[in-house]
Amino acid sequence: MATNNLEIIVQAPENHVWAAVTTTQVAEKWMKDIKITTDWKVGSPVVYTCYDDKGEIFKWEGMNMIWSGIIEKLDRNQEYTASYPDKSAGLVKESYFFDTLDEKTTKVRVTQEFTTQEIADGYKDGTQHLLGMLKTYLEA
Measuring CA to CA, how many Å separate 86 from each of 67, 69, 108, 109, 140? 9, 8, 26, 24, 36
Residues 33-45: b if buried by 16+ CB within 10 A, e if exposed? ebebebeeeeeee
What's the pLDDT tens digit per position in 3-13?
999 999 999 99
Classify domain 2-139 by CATH number.
3.30.530.20
- C-alpha distances out from residue 10 to 18, 86, 109, 111, 115, Å: 11, 32, 11, 17, 29
Tell me: the pLDDT tens digits for 37-86?
Answer: 999 999 999 999 999 989 999 988 788 889 999 999 999 999 999 999 99
pLDDT mean over 18-36: 95
Verdict on whether the full-model pTM lies above 0.85: yes
Domain boundaries, the chain: 2-139
Strands (E), 18-104: 34-38, 45-50, 59-60, 63-64, 66-75, 79-83, 91-102
